[in-house]
Structure 1
Amino acid sequence: MYHQKHDEATAMKYLQKGLEIKKKSKAADLSQIDSLINIANTYIAVGELAKATQALEESEVIVSRQYFPPLSEIATINDTWGTVYLKQGQLDKAADMFDKAAQERGTMTYGGTPHVESLVNVIKVAAKKGDYRKCMQIGKQVLLFSDNVLKQRPQTIVISDCYECLANAYEKTGNLSKAKVTLESLKLELTRLGSLHDCDSNNYQLLEIQKRLKYIEHNLQSDTFTNDN
């Protein structure tokens, strides 16, 4: 809850306390792995990548002693490693980790939210590397799963992130008509998210949504798209 409110310091306090209790009570290994991944993601959010790396390495030690490989946890660890590498600017390593996570999650829950989250991460790296063809190819695949994902997790931002990457890819490759249509779809998705955050009184997320909507509206009114007509 505190992570959703972007109060990472308080979130970390509770996550660390939870992990400590799990270790003392000899909780199941998979439960400890989940805590370590959450801790890693919180460190990533505040830019403490070295500590995030330590948490991920500890989680991998626990994974290594499992008789049956916990595929879901392995996929989540790989996805989180990808985020660390992306933050560090190591795009090739990030792409490798996100690709692995997407393949692993695809074998378990094809088209489900975790699978789509990894696919969108693949898109983000492809966009940064200028591989717009891959970005568009996977982005179209993600949108086929969008209805299912939004039913599973109405507040997820992965679909809006997909639209944003797709719009950028279309614009960069000169397909302004598709870029404009995609930006309009992004506006609708962000408006939906904004309504949810408003109902939840999540002012931080609502403000972020409003900033994105303002930027999109400005972009749509720019010469790039008005002259295209």
Structure 2
Amino acid sequence: MKKNLKLKFFGPLLIVSLFIFALACEEETVMEAPSSEAPATTMKDKEEDHDHSEDEEHHDDDIAYSLISDGELTVCTDAPYEPFEFQDEDGTWTGFDMDIMRVLAGNMDVELTVKVVPFDGIWLLPAAGECDVVASAMTITEERAASTLFTDPYFDADQSLLVRTTDAEKYSTLASLSDSRIAVQTGTTGEMYAEENKPSGATLVSFDEPAAMFLALQSGEVDAILQDLPVNGDRQKNNPFFT
């Protein structure tokens, strides 16, 4: 059973470099049990200048942009982070965010290049020239928005708790995790929420990578993982050891 903390966040999100003009898809895509919003990113033509004269034609002017590498859309991401960004058995990048990035690169007629980096501070990398866009299930916060250009939100994802199946009755709420060890990912809104709402006596254990949190939970190093519901849900669905 996945424990919904009923906290609404504006995330996850793609972050777009200031050198690229990005507009959100008109149709919002929502997965089950939402609460963090993330944006779809597309490139659009400028509005056409309509001239009804029979002697003149309509012209579309592409929006101007620059890329850090010619012919490539370089995307920074913290992966694997199923179901948003991961590689399949053939090494192809897939997942919700990566599928959007592949469509974007195709619309721009460039190759998709994925750069795996730590999540903490990832939103600062486009401005630093490390990549053109960040696609990494990123939540919008005031702090991040102060230095980053976000697209419109496209995804909702509540924070959630993942525990071992054998502890499902023992740890049924956040409050029940007093005097326990809760895993969070460094620099995430899950970590922010846990810092503000952890029960008395609970210890937060920060990890750089989501995969390390799952291993820690399975080994008994921690008692629960607090992070985005779709990510915990994906792991619970594919591993009966967790609930």
TM-score interval (norm. to shorter): under 0.3
Q: What's the TM-score once normalised by structure 2's chain length?
A: 0.23
**TM-score, normalisation: structure 1:** 0.24
Bigger strand fraction: 2
Bigger relative contact order, structure 1 or 2, given CA contacts below 8 A and separation 6+?
2
Task: Name the structure where helix makes up a greater proportion of residues.
Answer: 1
